[in-house]
Amino acid sequence: MTSGIQRPSGSGPAGPAGPAGPSGPDGSDGPEVSLSPAGIGGAEAAKVEGRIAQMAEAMQAGSMRPEDALAELLDGAVGDDLDPELASELREMMHELIANDPYLASLAREVGAMPGEPGASDE
């Protein structure tokens, strides 16, 4: 006995495989975005990596607070090209994102840039 439902022609194992993946040269259709020093050119990447290493050493030595290191990283991400008002708004939005995203907040807490668990008392 068969049902009145039929498989659309061209589907199934021998049919179309579905939507193709990204088709750009780097595997994406959109603009390339990098959140690491690898996304910038040679000398600039080395400078950024060096500064991050300096900040890590300074935090371990106790001469730099994690909050200050995070603020410096965010300042570097914002850059100097924006209108100061827009730059301030972007920094505020990034701070809110870090505070409200569970993964980013856990990373910030891990390095000491944020107080303990959400809702936990620091008393």
Alpha-carbon distance of 39 to 37, in angstroms, equals 5
Extract the tokens encoding 89. 């708004």
pTM (2 d.p.) = 0.55
Nearest to 77 by CA among 120, 69, 117: 69
Question: Is the per-residue pLDDT at 56 higher than 50?
Answer: yes
49 within 8 A of 36, measured Cβ to Cβ? no
Q: What percent of the chain has pLDDT over 90?
A: 28
Average pLDDT value for residue range 57-62: 92
86-111 pLDDT, tens digit per residue, is 999 999 999 999 999 999 999 889 88
CB atoms within 10 A of CB 80: 8
Q: Which helix (H) or strand (E) holds 52?
A: helix 42-61
- What pLDDT does residue 68 have? 92
